[in-house]
A and B are shown apart, each in its own frame.
Chain A
Amino acid sequence: MTRHVDVLVIGAGPAGLAAASRLAAGGARVEVLDREQRAGGVPRHCAHGGFGTPLHPLTGPACARLLADAATRAGAVVRTGVTALDWAGPRTLTTVGPEGPENVAAGAVVLATGARERPRAARLVPGTRPAGVYTTGELQQAVHLYGQPIGSRAVIVGAEDVSYAAAGTVRAAGAEVVALVTHLPRAQTTPARALDARLRHRIPLLTDTTITELLGHGRPTGVRVRHRDGRAATLPCDTVVFTGDFVPDHELARRGGIALDPGTRGPAVDGALRTSHPGVFAVGSVLHAVQSAATAAREGTHAATAVRDWLTGAAWPGGVPLLADPPLRWIAPNRVTPADRLPYVLRTTALLPRPVLHVTQDGRPLHRERPRLRTAVPNRTLTLTARWAHRIDPEGGPVRVTAG
C-alpha cells in the first residue's frame, strides 16, 4: 500500500521540523517521520543551554519541544517511532513502525537525518574493549534521559564545543573530569568557555596529545596518551567519552544513490538545498556535521522556498561545483547557482590566523572576504556569505574557495 503526501521530511530534528513548519504553514500536506520515540533530534538530550538566541536562550530539550510544537501547530503531521528504511521509487520511501510496513510517496522529500559522532572503533583507537566508553550522544541520553550512573572519573577525548558539553554532563552526573585531550595545539571553542572550564572547574586540557590505547577488562582502568614531543603517560579513569569527529548520517542518501560531497560526506547540495535527485532536498547536520541547531533550523526554513517552487513545477538547476582548497576541509552547500543567498559554512584542517577567503572561477576572482573569527581552528565554523553567487558563470568550471 502506498500513501501520498506533498512533502515527506525524514528526521524530526531542528532542520526537519523547521522545514515542516514553514511548508505546512504555506498549506502543503507535510509529514515528518522520526525513528525515535520523541521528536526534536539531538537537542532532546542536550540538557545544557546554548540553544535559542542570545535574547531567548533555551536548553536543548526546550528547543526540541518548541520546534516540534510549532510544526504540529502549523499543520504538519509528526510521526515518531517510524523509520524510513529505503527507497521504493524516486520520491517514495519504505517505512516501518509499530503499525507495520508502509510506502509513502511524496511530491518532494526532505532528508534531515542528522549526524553522529564517530565512536572509538571508527577512530581505530587500539586496546581492550571495556564497557564505560561513550560518545557524547550516548552519554547525554544515559545521564539526562535515563538517569543511568556513569563511572566516577572520565577522560574526554576532544576539546571542541561538544566536548565541553560532555564535560558538563559528566559533572552533572556527579563524576570528575580527569582531562580533556586533543591532538590539536589548542581548544576549539570560545576562549571564554575554555578558560571557564580550566579555572572555575579545574579541568586540565591536554593539547597536542593523542589517545594511544584503552586499558582495562570489564571497565576501563585508564587510557594511554602520547604528547607530540614523544612523552607518554597513563591517565587513570573508569569512563572515556569520545566527542566530536562528526559524520553525517547519510545512509538513506547513499541507499538512494544521491551524490555525496567528498569533503562533507553528506549529500552534495546547492544553495537552495537541492540534491542531485530532482525533488529530493537535504538540510541540517547531514550536510555539514555539525553546526549549531540554529543553523540547521535556518536551513530547514530556507529550503521551504525551493521545495514549494519544485512542487509548483520549477526546474531543477544543476549548479556549479563549489570546492574548498586545502587546508580548507570542506564547504557546504557545495554546489552554487547564481540565485544562492544562504551563507556557506566551512571547516579547516589547520589553524589559520586572520584568514581571508578568496572565491574564484576559472581563475577569475569573484569575491574576497575576511571572516569574523580572529583565527580559524579545526572543528569550528567559518562562514562565507553568498553575496558573490550572482557573479558566477553557470556554464563555467568549478568555483574554488581558497584561504589566504
Chain B
Amino acid sequence: MTVTTSGPLPTGPYDVAIVGAGVVGSAIARRLAHHPRLRIALVEAQDDVGQGTSKANTAILHTGFDAVPGTLEARLVREGARELAAYAAESGIPVEPVGALLVAWDEEQLAALPRLAEKAERNEYHATRLLGPAELYDREPHLGPGALGALHVPGESIICPWTTTLAYATQAVRNGVDLHLDSPVEGAARHDGVHHLTTPRGPLRARWLVNAAGLHADTLDRLLGHDDFTVTPRRGQLIVHDKFARALVRHILLPVPTALGKGVLVAPTVHGNVLLGPTAEDLDDRTATNSTAEGLDRLREQGRRILPALLDEEVTAVYAGLRAATGVDDYRIAAHPDQAYVTVGGIRSTGLTASLAIAAHVTALLTDAGLDPGPERAPAPVRMPNLGEAFPRPYQRPDLVAADPDHGRLVCHCERVSRGEIRDALASTIPPRSLDGLRRRTRAGAGRCQGFYCGAAVRALFEEAQG
C-alpha cells in the first residue's frame, strides 16, 4: 500500500495517472483498481484526499429528479445514486433515506410543482407525490407558517461526504493504487506516447491521463492544449446547526426553483445536525472558500421563514464550498483518444451522487480510446468507521468497549468520539495529516464546543502519532 507525501515521485511510467483526489478522482481510481494489471497513480495537490469541493457540500444523495432531462449529468446522477446507495451499505458509509419536500411558499411556486413532478417522470423518477398543506404540516410540524403545499420526493437521501471520498481512496490504495499527496501538477507535456507531469516533487510519467482537478480542471486542460471551457466558481455558504435542531426537521426541505432563482434548503445531516444553505455566488477567485456577513445574513433570513425555531439553536459551524460551474447545464467530460487523455470537468453540484457512475463512464471512455485494462476482479471490500447517528457508534457498542476500553474513553464530548476511534484513524490506510483531516475521519472537534473541551487533547493525540 503506497501513500506518499514527500520525496521524489516514482520514475517508472504509470499506466494511468489521475490528477485530483476529490470524490470524482478517488472514485475513478477505485474503479480502475478493479484491473490489477494496471499501474495507477492518484495525484493530489493538497495534503489529504477530499480537501476540495468534496468536503464542503450539502451531502445529499440526489435522485436526479430535477436534472436537465437527456443530459449526461441526468443519466450519471440517476445511475450513480443507485450505485452509491448500495456501495454505502456495503462499506459502512452512513446514509439516511429521509426523503425531500419541495415546499411552495407562494402561488408561483405552487404552480411549479406539477411541472417538477413531470420533469421527474422524464428523469425516470416515478415516486413523487403532491402534498397539500395539511399533510405537509403533519410531516413537518415546525415548518414556518404560510406554506401552500409541497412535492414529496421520497428517494432523496443524506450521506456522509467525507467517508465517501475516503472509502473510495482507501479501497483504491489497498488495491494497489499509489496515492501521491502534496503533489500539485504544474505542467504537462507528452513525448513518445507518455505524459510527463511536472510537480514540485519531480516528474511523474503516465501513458494515460485523467483530469479530475475540480475547480482547476480547465487549467490542466489548457496545459494539454484544449480551450473547451472555463470554470467559474459558484460559492455556496452553509450554516451547520446544533444537534438539538435535528428534532425540528424530518425531511430535506428543498426550495422550489422559479424564474427568480433558487432559494436555500434546510437539511438534516447524517451526523445529526441541520444544514441551512447554500448561497449561490459567482466569483473569480478559486480559493474564496470564506464566508461573508451578507451571505450568512441572507441565509438566516431565509431560514427564519422555513424553520423559525432553527434560529434559536446554536450554530456549530459555518463553511463554504465552490461549485465548478462552466456556463453549461451539464458535465464537461471529454475523451481525447489521440492524446490518451480524458477530461472530467464541470462536475458542478451533483458530483458526490454521480461519482461511481462518472467513474464507470470514464473507465469506458478510456478503454474505448484504446486503454487495455487487462483482466478484471472485484477489489477487496472496505468497511469504514461509522460517523452516522442512525447507526451504532463505537461508544454505544458494549461488545466493542469490552474488547477495547479505549472505545469507552470519550475524548470529544460533543460528538462522542472515543480515544479508540481517534487512535484507529491515526493508524488508518490514509492517515490524516492535519486536525481537519482527523475531524473528517472521526468528527473529533466538529461539535458545538469547537474544541473548548477537547481541542488540546485531540491535538496532543494527533501530535503523538506524528512522532
Q: List 20 A-B contacts (CB under 8 A).
A: A85-B416, A98-B405, A98-B409, A99-B401, A99-B408, A101-B398, A117-B452, A121-B315, A122-B316, A124-B239, A126-B293, A126-B318, A135-B449, A135-B451, A135-B455, A137-B449, A137-B453, A141-B456, A148-B463, A213-B293
Q: Which 6 A-B pairs have the closest CB atoms?
A: A119-B450, A98-B405, A141-B456, A138-B455, A142-B456, A137-B452
A126 in contact with B401 (CB, 8 Å): no
- CB pair A119 B449 closer than 8 Å: yes
Could you tell me the distance in whole angstroms from the C-beta of B392 to the nearest C-beta in chain A?
11
Inter-chain CA distance A304–B235, complex, in Å, is: 55
CA distance A36 to B410 in the complex (A): 8
The yes or no answer to A96 lying at the interface (CB within 8 A) is yes
Interface of A (DSSP majority class): mixed
If A83-B410, A217-B287 touch, whether A124 touches B456 (CB-CB below 8 Å) is no
B457 at the interface (CB under 8 A from A): yes
Task: Assess whether A96 is in contact with B401, with CB atoms less than 8 Å apart.
Answer: yes
Residues of B close to A101: CB separation below 8 A: 396, 398, 401, 408
Task: With both chains docked as a complex, state the minimum distance between the C-beta of A222 and any C-beta of chain B, in angstroms.
Answer: 13
Known A96-B410, A138-B451; judge A145-B456 contact (CB<8 A): yes
Chain A residues near B450 (CB, 8 Å)? 119-122, 135
Contact check, A81 vs B409: say whether CB atoms are below 8 A apart: yes
Contact with B along A199-233 (1 / 0, CB 8 A): 00000000000001100010000000000000000
Q: Kindly state whether residue B89 has any CB partner on chain A within 8 Å.
A: no
The complex places the Cα of A65 from the Cα of B398 at a distance, in Å, of 32
* Least CB separation from A143: chain B residue: B456
Bound complex: CA of A124 vs CA of B313, how far in Å?
13
Q: Contact: A126 with B451, CB < 8 Å?
A: no
Determine if A356 is an interface residue (Cβ-Cβ < 8 Å): no
Complex Cα distance A217/B287, Å? 9
Given A83-B413, A97-B409, A122-B319 contact (CB < 8 Å): no
Chain B positions within 8 Å of A35 at CB level: 410, 413
Interface residue B75 (Cβ < 8 Å from any Cβ of A): no
Alpha-carbon separation in the docked complex, A120 to B315 (Å): 10
B455 touches A121 (CB 8 A): no
In chain A, what residue has the closest Cβ to B448?
A122
Q: Out of B290, B405, B436, B455, name the residue touching A126 (CB < 8 Å).
A: B290
Q: How far is the CA of A101 from the CA of B394 in the complex (A)?
A: 11
Expressed in whole angstroms, the Cα–Cα distance for A217 and B289 within the complex equals 9
Say how far B238's CB is from chain A's closest CB, in angstroms.
11
- A254 CB-CB contact with B under 8 Å: yes
* Number of residues on chain B facing chain A (CB within 8 A): 44
Given contacts A98-B406, A142-B459, A148-B459, contact A134 B451 (CB under 8 A): yes
Which chain B residues border A122 with CB–CB below 8 Å? 314-316, 448, 450
Contacting B at CB under 8 A, from A87-124, are: 96-101, 116-122, 124
Complex contacts, B410 vs chain A, CB 8 Å: 35, 83, 96
Q: How far is the CB of A256 from chain B (nearest CB, A)?
A: 13
Checking B314, B319, B408, B452 against A138 with a beta-carbon cut-off of 8 angstroms, the contacting residue is: B452
The reply on B4 being an interface residue by CB < 8 A is no
Query: Does chain A have a CB within 8 A of B317?
Result: yes
Most buried by B among A129, A131, A138, A141: A138
Separation of A254 and B448 alpha carbons in the complex (Å): 15
**Is A247 on the interface with B (CB-CB < 8 A)?**
yes
Residues of A within 8 A of B449 (CB): 116, 119, 135, 137
Contact of A121 among B316, B395, B402 (CB under 8 A): B316
A124 CB, min distance to chain B CBs, angstroms: 5
| Alpha-carbon gap, A97 to B456, bound state (A) | 20
Give every chain A residue within 8 A of B287 (Cβ-Cβ). 217
- What are the residues of chain A within 8 A of B317 when measuring CB–CB? 121
Using Cβ atoms and an 8 Å threshold, which residues of chain A touch B315?
Answer: 121-122, 124
B365: chain A residues at CB < 8 Å are: none
* B291 / chain A contacts, CB cutoff of 8 Å: 126-127
Bound: A81/B411 CA distance, A:
9
Q: Which of A98, A99, A101 has the most CB of B within 10 A?
A: A98
Given A124-B315, A146-B456, residue A100 in contact with residue B296 (CB < 8 A): no
Q: How far is the CB of A390 from chain B (nearest CB, A)?
A: 36
A81 and B396 CA atoms in complex are apart in Å by: 16
> Which residues of chain B are within 8 angstroms of A146 by Cβ–Cβ distance?
456-457, 459-460
A128 at the interface (CB under 8 A from B): yes
Beyond A138-B456, A141-B455, A145-B456, 6 additional pairs, beta carbon < 8 A: A96-B395, A98-B408, A128-B289, A129-B319, A137-B453, A217-B287
The digit string for B289-329, where 1 denotes a CB below 8 A from any CB of A, is 11111011000000000000000001111110000000000
A335 CB, min distance to chain B CBs, angstroms: 22
Which residues does chain B contribute within 8 Å of A217, judged by CB atoms? 287
B249 within 8 Å of A by Cβ? no
B391 contacts chain A at the CB level, 8 A cutoff: no
Closest residue of B by beta carbon distance from A114? B453
Binary contact track A143-173/B, C-beta < 8 Å → 1, others 0: 0011010000000000000000000000000
What B residues does A127 contact at CB under 8 A? 290-291
What's the Cα separation between A97 and B291 when bound, in Å?
Answer: 38
What distance in Å separates the Cβ of A100 from its nearest Cβ neighbour in chain B?
5
Q: Mark B411-437, 1 if CB is under 8 A from A, else 0.
A: 001001000000000000000001110
| Cβ-defined contact, A128 with B408, below 8 A | no
- How many whole Å from A90's CB to the nearest CB in chain B? 21
- Shortest distance from the beta carbon of A151 to any chain B beta carbon, whole Å: 14
